[in-house]
Every structure is written in C-alpha cells, then in structure tokens.
C-alpha cells in the first residue's frame, strides 16, 4: 500500500493510549485482489475488559474538562483527518474495495461528524423550569452517560466510527470500539490521528478481533458500559439488545433496511434515473439505505427501465484504486452468494433481466451491475435487502398501491420518492413508514440530517443536532429554598 505517511498503517489495537499487539493476529485482505494486506491484533475478552477499565478511568477526567477544551482537541482531530484524507482513502479502498473517489467522499463525510459534534459539545445545556411550588427551584442538568461500547460495520469503515465516537466524546463520554474484522485499518489510522490531536489516553479505545460475538458479549455484560451503539444487521442488533438487558443499557441501533424508491409518472425522468443510480449503486449497493425495491408507475415504467439499464451498462467495474472505476468488488463470498441467490430466485419466478445478472468476468467477488424488471412481491428480494448492485423494478398503478407496497416490510430506514407534484410530495412523505424520506434525490446523508430508522431498522438517531442526546442523561435537580 503506497501512503504519503506510512506510519498511518497501524496493525495493533489501541488501548489506554498504547498500541497493543495481543497474543494472536488475524489477516485483513483486499477484496479486489484477495491479497493479505496486514495481520492485525486479535484481542479477546480479557483485553477488552482492560480497555473498559481504561475507559472508565479516562472518562472521569475527560468529563470534567470544559466543552471548549474537548471541542478544541476534536477540531485538531478533524484537521488531521482532512490533512491525511488521501492516505485514509487509500487505506479504506484497499481493505474495503469501494472506488477511491467514494472513499475520499467517505473521509470528508466521516470528518464532518467530528467537526459538527465539536461544535455541538459547546451547545449542550440544561434548563431552569418554572416551579409549581414557591419554595422550590427546579433545574435539569445534561451529563455524559459514561462509558459506551461501539460496534461498527465494514461498509463505511470511517464514517460509522466518527458518527458514533464524535458525539460520544463531545458529550464527555469515553468508549471501547470494535471495528469490523474486515476493515480494522481505517479505524486504527483514525486512532493514530486522534492520538496526534491530543485525545487523552483511554478516551477512545479500539479493540480489534475476529471473535465479534465474544467481544460484543464482553461489552454488553459489563455494567460499567452504560450504552451500546451498533450499526449492522437486525439479527445482531437483537442479540446485543438481549445481552444488554441485564445491565439496562441505553441502546442506539442502526440496523437493516429494505429501501423503497418510488417513481411517479409526474417525476422528472432524468432526475429519477440519476437519483436511482446514485442510491442503488453507491458502494456497489452495499449500504443500508441503497434502494432495494424500485417502484415505478406503469405509464413511465418502460422508459425508466430503458434509461436505467443504459446507465447501468455504462458503469465501470474494477479495482477501486484504478482511475475511473465506479463499482468495486463485493466485500466477501457470503455477500456475493446472497446477491446470486436473489437474482436466481427473481428470474426463476418470472423477472426479466435487462443487464448484468451474474458474477463479473473479473472474477473474485466482482458482480455485474444488474437491472431486473417485472419484479413481484413473492420474490426474496422484496423482503430481504440484497446489499449488492441489483436494481429491481416493480410496477404500480396508483399512489395508494405504491405506498402499501413500500410499507410492506419489517424495515423502515430510508425511502425515496420522485415526483414534481408538491401535494403528493407531502402526502407520500407522511405516509411512508420510514425514518428518512429523500425526495427527488438519491443521496441525503450528511452530518446535519438525523440518520435512523423505524420498526426493525433500529433505535435512536445519529448525526444532526439530536445525535449528542444519545450520549447524555438528563438529571433533574429540585432545590428547596
């Protein structure tokens, strides 16, 4: 891996301000080539408990600092992340596969949470309440929840860390974070930069390891961890919730999605095709908010399908480090197998293949950008998110029908709609049972908008002015005078 600053490539865990080699190592591979790029510390429960000890000690001091003090260190961290954006993007693409341009976008997106929450730290405030009794004064204080555990996914190896850690440390908490085993190098590079920025030892601990269930259980079982924050599957989210019940932890869960994208016949067709391409093929379809089910009104169905298939055929597939590549590999064989299963199931049940549909000639885990039409609700893809580059087109006849199909899911993370009719925009946005509704755009993510879902898509909101509340407790103080 060619980096301007090779010392960003850390392979040991970061606990209490020390780089910890651990007793074992695990291999991290480049999904584009299958090559091993690093052997990283493989920690177990005992080392995770030591990291919790460190976080508990560090949090006492960190929470006593002024918000301005914390913000200044975070701002320095933000500057260092941006100054090293090129190297961070190379590390990210090499371990995860997304095209370099997307990786650079993710670095800026990830950094924006550090900058945003550094500012938000200074705006946390309690209230003085109107008293119901003349001899009392009532106040609320907002205080850090304490030490939190964080478990982050491989699809956004930087942004999902900063979206959790930045509000937490801004609020005066400390954390023990486990990055995905596929992408620990981005996490460790972030820790290296946090250390250079002057973040005190023990405030952010990064525990790398292969045994995610054991590490997760250690975090959940420990009473001193007062909150868990997780992005990943609904199945694992439920396990963490169950394991956290014993110590009644606060939970933030960003879980599975099955995003509908609705295109009405009054939409601007070019805008809808561009939006669908961005939403569907971002990160090779490997985001929780990628359009999984594309519902198109009957009058414009054929024209939309034709334009989408043309744009899809033009996508450049390859190693994300190669100039001009727009779609990298799928993260692993398990991910690839699910995509193949969904496509085979759909075709077996009558779907029509407009383009793609099979593993790419490049081999490995590359998959052809795919468009399927004539999709129906009995197909697996209708219920489960594919997490791959498959645009699946369903037909609808009227608004009511479209809303009913979109809401027919256990998930409720993000939905998209394309219409030029203002009344419909509000009507449909209100009727969709999703935490996020994007109108006439395929991309909505930023540090300013609240990210989070309804139903089995999770609990809590990340980013935005609401994100810091997840790491604060409200204390009521009643003063007799």
Stretch that binds ligand SIN, among 287-295, 322-330, 357-365, 393-401 (CB under 6 A): 287-295
The active-site residue, picked from 47, 254, 368, 374, is: 254
Catalytic site includes residue 173? no
Q: Nearer Cβ to ligand SIN, position 144 or 184?
A: 184
Q: Nearer Cβ to ligand SIN, position 181 or 254?
A: 254
438 near ligand SIN, rule: CB under 6 A:
no
Looking at residues 19 to 48 of the shown chain, list those that interact with ligand SIN (rule: CB under 6 A): none
289 near ligand SIN, rule: CB under 6 A:
yes
Of positions 71, 80, 207, 288, contacts ligand SIN by CB under 6 A:
288
| Token pair of 209 as six digits | 């390891």
Quote the least distance from Cβ 445 to ligand SIN, whole Å. 3
Stretch that binds ligand SIN, among 152-160, 196-204, 219-227, 391-399 (CB under 6 A): 152-160
Q: Nearer Cβ to ligand SIN, position 230 or 367?
A: 230
Stretch that binds ligand SIN, among 118-126, 266-274, 285-293, 383-391 (CB under 6 A): 285-293
Stretch that binds ligand SIN, among 85-93, 213-221, 284-292, 363-371 (CB under 6 A): 284-292
**Window 244-263: contact mask with ligand SIN (x via CB under 6 A):** ----------x---------
155 near ligand SIN, rule: CB under 6 A:
yes
How far are the Cα atoms of 56, 87, 146, 317 from residue 175, in angstroms, in the given order?
9, 25, 9, 38
Quote the least distance from Cβ 231 to ligand SIN, whole Å. 5
Cα-based angle 331, 339, 396 (whole degrees, multiple of 5): 130
- The candidate with the shortest Cα–Cα distance to 403, out of 422, 425, 421, is 425
Q: Nearer Cβ to ligand SIN, position 202 or 232?
A: 232
End-to-end CA distance of the chain: 66
Give dist(CA 184, CA 25) in Å, integer. 12
How is residue 379 annotated by DSSP?
A: S
287 near ligand SIN, rule: CB under 6 A:
yes
> What's the distance, CA 229 to chain centroid?
11
Give dist(CA 75, CA 79) in Å, integer. 6
231 near ligand SIN, rule: CB under 6 A:
yes
Give dist(CA 439, CA 434) in Å, integer. 13
114 near ligand SIN, rule: CB under 6 A:
no
Quote the least distance from Cβ 234 to ligand SIN, whole Å. 12
Give dist(CA 386, CA 223) in Å, integer. 36
Catalytic site includes residue 288? yes
Q: Nearer Cβ to ligand SIN, position 297 or 409?
A: 409
How is residue 200 annotated by DSSP?
A: P
Stretch that binds ligand SIN, among 154-162, 166-174, 244-252, 348-356 (CB under 6 A): 154-162
The active-site residue, picked from 173, 175, 220, 288, is: 288
Q: Are 37 and 94 in contact (CB under 8 A)?
A: yes
Looking at residues 304 to 333 of the shown chain, list those that interact with ligand SIN (rule: CB under 6 A): none
Q: Are 452 and 460 in contact (CB under 8 A)?
A: yes
Q: Nearer Cβ to ligand SIN, position 97 or 200?
A: 97
Q: Total binding residues for ligand SIN by CB under 6 A? A: 10
Q: Which long-range contacts (CB under 8 A, 24 or more apart) does 116-119 make?
A: 116/166, 116/447, 116/448, 116/463, 117/74, 117/166, 117/167, 117/169, 117/170, 117/467, 117/468, 118/70, 118/71, 118/72, 118/74, 118/75, 118/78, 118/166, 118/170, 119/71
Residue 367 β-bridge partners: 359
365 near ligand SIN, rule: CB under 6 A:
no
Quote the least distance from Cβ 77 to ligand SIN, whole Å. 20
Quote the least distance from Cβ 317 to ligand SIN, whole Å. 20
What values do phi and psi take at 331, rounded to 5? Answer: -60, -40
Q: Nearer Cβ to ligand SIN, position 231 or 234?
A: 231
Quote the least distance from Cβ 104 to ligand SIN, whole Å. 15
How far are the Cα atoms of 80, 263, 275 from residue 443, in angstroms, in the given order?
26, 15, 7
Q: Are 47 and 13 in contact (CB under 8 A)?
A: yes
Give dist(CA 413, CA 337) in Å, integer. 24
How far are the Cα atoms of 177, 203, 253, 417 from residue 180, in angstroms, in the given order?
10, 20, 16, 32
Q: Nearer Cβ to ligand SIN, position 91 or 159?
A: 159
Quote the least distance from Cβ 102 to ligand SIN, whole Å. 11
Quote the least distance from Cβ 401 to ligand SIN, whole Å. 28
Of how many residues is the chain composed? 481
| Token pair of 78 as six digits | 């933000």
How far are the Cα atoms of 245, 304, 327, 408 from residue 364, in angstroms, in the given order?
41, 31, 14, 35
Q: Nearer Cβ to ligand SIN, position 155 or 312?
A: 155
156 near ligand SIN, rule: CB under 6 A:
yes
Quote the least distance from Cβ 185 to ligand SIN, whole Å. 19
445 near ligand SIN, rule: CB under 6 A:
yes
| Token pair of 228 as six digits | 């868990």
Residues in touch with ligand SIN (CB under 6 A): 155-156, 159, 231, 254, 287-289, 445, 451
Q: Which residues are catalytic?
A: 254, 288
């Amino acid at each position: 891996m060619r980096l301007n600053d090779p010392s960003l490539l850390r392979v040991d865990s970061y606990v209490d301000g020390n780089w910890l080699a651990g007793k074992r190592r695990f291999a991290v591979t480049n999904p584009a080539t299958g090559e091993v790029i690093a052997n990283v510390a493989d920690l177990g429960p005992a080392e995770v408990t030591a990291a919790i000890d460190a976080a508990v000690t560090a949090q006492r001091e960190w929470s006593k600092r002024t918000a301005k003090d914390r913000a200044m260190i975070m701002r320095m961290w933000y500057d260092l992340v941006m100054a090293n954006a090129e190297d961070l993007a190379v590390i990210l693409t090499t371990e995860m596969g997304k095209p370099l341009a997307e990786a650079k976008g993710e670095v800026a997106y990830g950094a924006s949470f550090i900058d945003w929450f550094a500012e938000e730290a200074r705006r946390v405030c309690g209230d003085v309440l109107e008293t119901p009794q003349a001899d009392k004064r009532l106040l609320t204080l907002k205080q850090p929840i304490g030490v939190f555990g964080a478990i982050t996914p491989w699809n956004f190896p930087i942004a999902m860390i900063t979206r959790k850690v930045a509000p937490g440390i801004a609020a005066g908490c400390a954390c023990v974070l486990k990055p995905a085993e596929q992408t620990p190098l981005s996490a460790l590079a972030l820790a290296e930069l946090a250390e250079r920025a002057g973040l005190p030892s023990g405030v952010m601990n990064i525990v790398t390891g292969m045994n995610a269930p054991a590490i997760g259980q250690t975090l959940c079982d420990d009473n001193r961890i007062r909150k868990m924050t997780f992005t990943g599957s609904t199945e694992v989210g439920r396990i963490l919730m169950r394991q956290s019940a014993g110590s009644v932890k606060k939970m933030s869960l960003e879980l599975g999605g099955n995003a509908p994208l609705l295109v009405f016949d009054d939409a601007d067709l070019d805008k809808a095709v561009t939006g669908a391409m961005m939403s569907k093929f971002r990160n090779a379809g490997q985001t929780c908010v990628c359009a999984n089910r594309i519902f198109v009104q009957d009058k414009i169905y054929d024209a939309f399908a034709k334009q989408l298939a043309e744009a899809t055929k033009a996508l450049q597939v390859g190693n994300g480090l190669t100039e001009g590549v727009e779609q990298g590999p799928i993260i692993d064989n398990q991910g690839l197998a699910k995509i193949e299963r969904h496509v085979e199931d759909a075709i077996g049940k009558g779907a029509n293949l407009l383009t793609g549909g099979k593993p790419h000639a490049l081999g490995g885990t590359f998959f052809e950008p795919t468009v399927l039409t004539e999709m129906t609700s009995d197909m697996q893809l209708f219920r489960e998110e594919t997490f791959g580059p498959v645009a699946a087109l369903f037909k609808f006849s009227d608004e009511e029908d479209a809303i009913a199909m979109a809401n027919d899911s256990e998930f409720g993370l993000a939905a998209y709609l394309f219409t030029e009719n203002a009344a419909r925009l509000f009507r449909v946005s209100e009727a969709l049972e999703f935490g996020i509704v994007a109108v006439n755009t395929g991309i909505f993510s930023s540090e300013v908008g609240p990210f989070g879902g309804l139903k089995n898509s999770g609990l809590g909101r990340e980013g935005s002015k609401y994100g810091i509340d997840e790491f604060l407790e409200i204390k009521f103080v009643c003063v007799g005078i």
